[in-house]
Structure 1
């Protein structure tokens, strides 16, 4: 099962190396990793997506909490949260197909950031499933390049049951 971990860390040299080493040293894979500053000086938040059963994830979380530079670890998977990724796609777009592609991009609320002779570059944000669906639909036109940020996530304040 896919899990999204939010890890609050001290922003100092070697933190990323220690955390990625913890994963690789135990044979766990990091699917996506996103790191950025928080409002608190010297503190960053890492959003890590990984896969594993509950026992493996529990082990990962326990090991993360043992690291001195880790302040807090939260598994957002079972909580009500907002999770988004940003993606850039360069799509092959012949003149005869551009209108068709533009309609599809409009449905997904994509932003066209560059139009070339034979391709377009598109920016979009959304959850993992939305981005996967867009990629699947655009593959028939030919995706030339893709860049994704990985997940960023926050727990909702109001927990809905």
Structure 2
């Protein structure tokens, strides 16, 4: 009898933690020890007194694996709250990238045209290169980087995903 295979899904998790040494290492260690992949990880202080940070983790897994991740994160002492933004419903995700493109003549003009279409800002320019800042969904960033690859892509630096639930309530 064939066993049904669960589909792996991408989930964006918000983890509110004490802003103290070692918390990030414990969270990353949890993923690593169990063989769970982290696609994106961002951390930032989110309180006026600098006591609390928000970690945004993008991971993939079956529904069962995601449930395990949520339960295990919730057991870490320094964790105040874990929210699966994907399961919660509508939320806003953004990422920022700095994209360095070198070229001259037609390639340079084409890079500027594509940057305009993707609403990328020129944040540095020399006679032989540009550095663009582009913000948007992961798919938008991926597409922009692929297009720049055709006109002289040199280097890409990305922030990772940040996300927030829609609506009036705070997490």
TM-score band w.r.t. shorter chain: over 0.9
Unaligned runs of 5+ in 2: 1-8
2:90 corresponds to which residue?
80
Displacement after TM superposition at 1:31 (Å):
1.3
Q: For 1:54, which of 57, 63, 83 is the aligned residue?
A: 63
Pairwise mapping of residues 141-160 of structure 1 onto structure 2 (< 5 A)? Answer: 141-157=151-167
1:89 corresponds to which residue?
99
1:35 corresponds to which residue?
43
Maintained 8 Å contact 1:64/1:70: yes
Which aligned runs of 4 or more in structure 1 are off by greater than 2 angstroms?
none
Say whether 1:24 aligns with 2:50: no
The aligned length equals 159
Displacement after TM superposition at 1:117 (Å):
2.6
Q: For 1:13, which of 8, 21, 30 is the aligned residue?
A: 21
Unaligned runs of 5+ in 1: none
Displacement after TM superposition at 1:45 (Å):
0.2
Q: TM-score, normalised by structure 2?
A: 0.88
Say whether 1:106 aligns with 2:127: no
Q: TM-score, normalised by structure 1?
A: 0.94
